[in-house]
Structure formats: C-alpha cells, structure tokens
Amino acid sequence: MPTKDEVFLVADQMLAAGEEPTLRTVTRRLNDGGSPRDVCPLLRKWRDTRGHNPKLDVKDLSAELREHLSAFGKAAYRIAQRDAARRWVQDRHEADAIRQAEAKDLEHLLGLIDGAASEKAALLARAEAAEAEAARVTARLTKVENQLDRFRSEEFWDRVMQEIYEVLPTSGTMTPEEILPELRSVTFRGASLHKEPLTPATLRKKMDVRVTHQKYFERLSDGRYARRAG
C-alpha cells in the first residue's frame, strides 16, 4: 500500500516534467504500485494541497466533465504523438528504400548503357528527388517535435499563470518581484526544465501576454498587477 509521501513525490515529479498526474500514471510509477482505492484519495489530497485542478477554459462545466475532457485531451495528444512518430518512421523507411533502389538502378544501368547521357540524367534526377523527399520528411518531423515542445511549454506556463492568479490578493496588487517568492519550488523546477528560468522579467513577459488576451490579470499604470475581474 503506497504512502502519502510516495504519491506526493511521484505527482510532483510528473508535474515538474510537464506531465499531468492521473490515477493511472501515478500508480504506474509507484515502486510497488497500488490499488485505485489506495492511490485515489492520496492523489486527491495532493491536488488539494498543491491547489492543482487541471481544467479547460470553459468555466461552467462540471468537475466530472472537466476531468473527462482533460483525460480525453491528454489521450488524444499521446495518440497524435505516437501517430506522428509512426508516420516519421514509415516515411524514413520509404525514403531509405527509394534511395537504395535508385542507387542500385543507377549502378546497373550505367554498367549496361555506357554513354546513355539522357538515361543517366533521368536516374540522377530520381535520386535527387528521393533525397529531397527525405529532407521533407525530416522537416516534417522537426515541425512536429517543435509543435509538441510548444504545446508542453504553453500548458506549463498556463498552470504557472493560474498559480499566480491564486497568489494575487482578491483586492490588491503585486509586482513580479513580490510574486516570485510566493511560487512553489516545483514551479521553479518546471521552469528550468522548459529552459526558461523564473525571473521577474520572465513573469512580467508571460503575464503581459495574458493581459493582452484579457485573461487572469490586469496591469496597472505603475507596473503592478491585479486579478482580472470575472
């Protein structure tokens, strides 16, 4: 039977890595596993303690529906990630096969038809096309990886903004310098994993983006921030 400390440690590590701690993923990472009956109340206590409540921007949905939608989104993300990886592997194999086939054809035909310049040019063009296709496959993979990195980063920083929103007083203002010491240590570790350490300048930049989109905060003329009404 897992202990509270074991469940809290696993959930904190997952959150710092940009992963969503769920009953299934936390149970899987526990050294001795555990039954849902044992793990579920401890994970719920971790969420209450950390003030962690993953949810969509739609505020009027029930907690149960938000939980289902969150689980669906994560499952879809994992499926998309696997599909992208499978497509890249398939495209890579096809490109390799094309290059190998073209190289063999070129060697064979050049040996049989010495001086057939037009045929040679056609084969070279096909080989170049195969290499160009391989380059396009690599570019697609790079684009997918960049999109996944941006998705994880945006998801992490939105959680940080929610945490800052809770730190701000309901009626009052704070500067980024005053907010920074109030953030949890796990948030600092998560920021370092995303290669953007937490500083007052970083907080100001991220908060200003939300101000521009009318989310979470209002920025006052003196550079201080308050909770956005509604």
Does 55 reside within a domain? Answer: no
pLDDT beyond 90 at 88: no
User: Can you name the residues that pair with 174 across neighbouring β-strands?
Assistant: 225
- CA proximity to 55, closest of 172, 203, 162, 141: 162
Separation between Cα atoms, residue 204 and residue 159, nearest integer Å: 15
- Is residue 84 in some structural domain? yes
Residue whose tokens read 């994992």: 78
Q: Do residues 141 and 92 both lie within one domain?
A: yes
In a domain, 72, yes or no: no
Flag whether the pTM goes above 0.75. no
Q: For 26-82, what is each residue's pLDDT tens digit?
A: 999 898 888 889 999 999 999 999 888 765 444 445 778 778 777 887 887 788 788
Q: What was the pLDDT predicted at 57?
A: 42
* Overall average pLDDT of the 168-184 stretch: 94
Residue 73 counted as domain residue: no
Q: Between the CA of residue 126 and those of 88, 91, 122, what are the distances in Å?
A: 21, 17, 6
SS3 (DSSP) at 170: coil
What is the pLDDT, as a whole number, of residue 230?
67
What residues contact 21, with CB distance under 8 A and at least 6 apart? 10, 11, 14, 15, 43, 46, 52
Residue 198 lies in a domain: yes
Domain span at residue 17?
4-50
> How many residues appear in the chain?
230
The two structure tokens encoding residue 78: 């994992």
Q: What is the mean pLDDT of residues 109-129?
A: 79
Structural domain total, the chain: 3
Is residue 161 assigned to a domain? no
